[in-house]
Amino acid sequence: MIDLSDDTRQRLQRLFPEPQWQEVEAILREDCGDTLPMVKPSWLDLVERIRFAVLKLSQGDLTRLKKHVKGARHDWRDVLMAAGFANSLTAHKDWRP
């Protein structure tokens, strides 16, 4: 299981109300990390890109987050495309909610 980076926590805390932080963290840790198809535990940068993408697409809504995490579990490349993070390895770092 890949833990959340400080940058990921910072972004999720900007998007979601405090009572949801633990739930969002659990979803990202358990369902949006090295359990994704074709993702290895050592690929921390890729995992962070995917997590930023689902956070961005969620717009701070828990139902939308779950929907996009489910989509990432099917094919995370589609999530990167939808968030605008597919064509650059660093575009996600510039996203600040």
* DSSP code, position 39: -
- What is the DSSP-derived secondary structure letter of residue 16? S
Nearest to 96 by CA among 24, 1, 11: 11
Residue found under tokens 């090295």:
34
Write down the pTM of the prediction. Answer: 0.95
User: How far, in Å, CA of 97 to CA of 59, rounded?
Assistant: 9
Alpha carbons 37 and 7: distance in angstroms, whole number: 23
Residue 23: predicted pLDDT: 98
Domain boundaries, the chain: 6-94
* pLDDT tens per residue, range 24-82: 999 999 999 999 999 988 889 999 999 999 999 999 999 999 999 999 999 999 999 99
